[in-house]
Amino acid sequence: KVLIDVPRSDLAEELAQSQTKIQVLQDTLQQVLDRREEERQSRQLLELYLEALKKEDSILSKVAESETVPRKEMDEVDTGTSSTGSSAKTVLSDQILAALKEKPAPELCLDSQDLELVLKEDTQALASALRWDKQKAEALQQACDQELSKRLQQVQTLHSLRSTSKGKKTLP
C-alpha cells in the first residue's frame, strides 16, 4: 500500500527504474491488493451465508415450536386482560420495553418473536408503557413490521438458495 501511495517519480528515482516500469509495478501491486480485498469479502460473505443457514435452521425449529404455543399464550393473555379489566396493560416484558426505550433502532435488536409481540400490542398501550406519544409508538410498530417483513424475505431467500444448491448437488 505504501509503494502504491508513493509518487511515481520519487519511487523511480529511489529504485533507479523508469517511470513506466514503476507505473507497471504500482498497477500490479494495486491489482494484488484489490484481489486480496475481493477474496476477503468473498470469504466474509460465505461465512455470513453459512451462519445464516444455521440461524435459518434454528428459526425454523422455533417457528415449528411456536405454531402450537401461541394459542395457549393468547388464551392466557385474553383471560388475563378480561379478568383484570385493564385493556391498556402491555404484555411486553420489561426487557423488551427497555430495549425499545434505550436503543436507537430497537427493531434491529429484538428477535422475531419480540417484534411480533410489539406489532400485536395496542398502539395506545405501547405508547403509555414507553411514555411516548401515539405517533412515535406507531412509527416504532411500522419499523418493527418492516424489519419482520425483511427477515421473512431473508428466510424465503435462504430457502430458495438452499433448494437451488440441493438441486445442483444431485446433478452429475
Q: List pLDDT tens digits, range 41-91.
A: 999 988 988 888 888 777 777 766 665 554 444 444 444 444 333 444 567
Task: Tell me the pLDDT of the chain (172 aa) as tens digits.
Answer: 888 888 999 989 988 999 999 999 999 999 999 999 999 999 998 898 888 888 877 777 776 666 555 444 444 444 444 433 344 456 788 888 888 888 778 888 788 888 888 888 888 888 888 888 989 889 988 988 998 898 888 888 888 887 777 766 555 5
pTM (2 decimals)?
A: 0.44
The domain 94-167 having CATH identifier 1.10.1490.10: the answer here is: yes
- Asked if 122 and 20 touch (Cβ cutoff 8 Å), the reply is no
CA atoms of 11 and 3, how far apart (whole Å)? 8
Provide CB contacts within 8 A for 90, sequence distance 6+: 97, 121, 125, 126, 129
Q: Count CA atoms closer than 13 A to 123's CA, side-chain side.
A: 11
> What burial letters (b/e) apply to 138-155, b meaning 16+ CB within 10 Å?
eebbebbeebbeebeeeb
